[in-house]
Amino acid sequence: MAVFLLTFVAALAALAGGFIAFRSRSRLGLALGFTAGLILGLVAFDLLPEIFEIVDSEGLDPVWPMISLVGGFLLFHIIEKFILIHHGTEEKYGPHRHPYVGVVGAVALSGHSFLDGLSIGIGFQVSTAVGMAVAIAVIGHRFADGFNTTNVMLYHQNKPSRAKQMLAVAAVMPILGGLSSLLFSLSEGVLAIYLGFFAGFLLYIGASDILPQAHSDGASRKAIVMTVLGAIFMFLVSQLV
């Protein structure tokens, strides 16, 4: 039940992000800065300690979760750059707008949405504390993805009605991902490797996606403060939950 409720909140966060994109960007940088801090704190204070605990209790080689972490980071980096290169133009990242490119970008974000919901469910397989921490980070990320999905569609000259359709898809996907996690459970060894992969994924979206957006609206100093506060908040959550 908790997985469904939290993925539903994540869906609402995506819709809220899309609504803001349709209206304005007011104070979005501050929210994204806080989200980036939450992600950093989640990886450092929840996911990595949980991985090390599983490694210690199961006698696993810690190199495999760390390989998975690097693999998760690089995989999403490669996917993102592959889309940019192969759906751009000969101008190499020059200004270019086409509805097809917008749809491809929105579909990629929807795929992220499914993985986010799945990660909430798997987080609860570890413990309630990890599940809640993952959900907090994912909900913040979903807001950014809803915002991005709408902006990508509109920037590439898609009609607002079509942008709303893709936003709805992005909103539903985390619910489907969360529900799919109820169909299986992972062994401790596989769970440690998955958590490493998810940590790498989070580090990538935090550093290359959310933080740059947080500083794009001119509120860089305030965004930095919010990032620090987000990391501190996640530290406190990890200690108290």
Do the beta carbons of residue 170 and residue 146 sit within 8 Å?
yes
Residue 69 confidence (pLDDT): 95
Residue spans of the domains in the chain: they are 2-240
C-alpha neighbours within 13 Å on the C-beta side of residue 17: 30
Residue 159's region, left for phi above 0, alpha for psi from -120 to 50, else beta, is beta
Residue in this structure with the two tokens 């169909």, named with its chain if needed: 183
Residue 148: partners with Cβ closer than 8 Å, 6 or more residues away? 17, 21, 105, 109, 209
Q: What are residue 161's phi and psi, to 5 degrees? A: -65, -40
Q: Rounded distance, CA 84 to CA 208, Å?
A: 14
3-state secondary structure 52-109: HHHHHHHCCCCHHHHHHHHHHHHHHHHHHHHHHHHCCCCCCCCCCCCHHHHHHHHHHH
Residue 66 confidence (pLDDT): 95
13's enclosing H/E stretch is: helix 2-23
Residue 125 confidence (pLDDT): 82
Q: 49: helix, coil or strand?
A: helix
Q: Which amino acid is at 196?
A: G
Do the beta carbons of residue 194 and residue 72 sit within 8 Å?
no
Residue 189: partners with Cβ closer than 8 Å, 6 or more residues away? 54, 58, 60
Residue 216 confidence (pLDDT): 67
User: Which class for 197: exposed (0-12), middle (13-18), buried (19 or more C-beta within 10 A)?
Assistant: buried
Do the beta carbons of residue 192 and residue 65 sit within 8 Å?
yes
Q: Mean pLDDT, consecutive 10-residue segments, the chain of 241 residues? A: 86 84 64 77 84 88 94 83 51 47 61 80 81 80 71 68 83 89 82 86 78 69 86 80 56
Q: Comparing C-alpha atoms, which of 179, 167, 168, 149 is closest to residue 4?
A: 179
Do the beta carbons of residue 193 and residue 61 sit within 8 Å?
no
Give the single-character DSSP code of 218: S
Q: Rounded distance, CA 85 to CA 209, Å?
A: 17
220's enclosing H/E stretch is: helix 220-240
Residue 79 confidence (pLDDT): 72
- Tell me the per-residue pLDDT of 38-97, one tens digit each, with 9 for 90 and over: 778 878 887 898 889 889 988 889 999 999 999 989 987 887 677 554 444 444 444 444
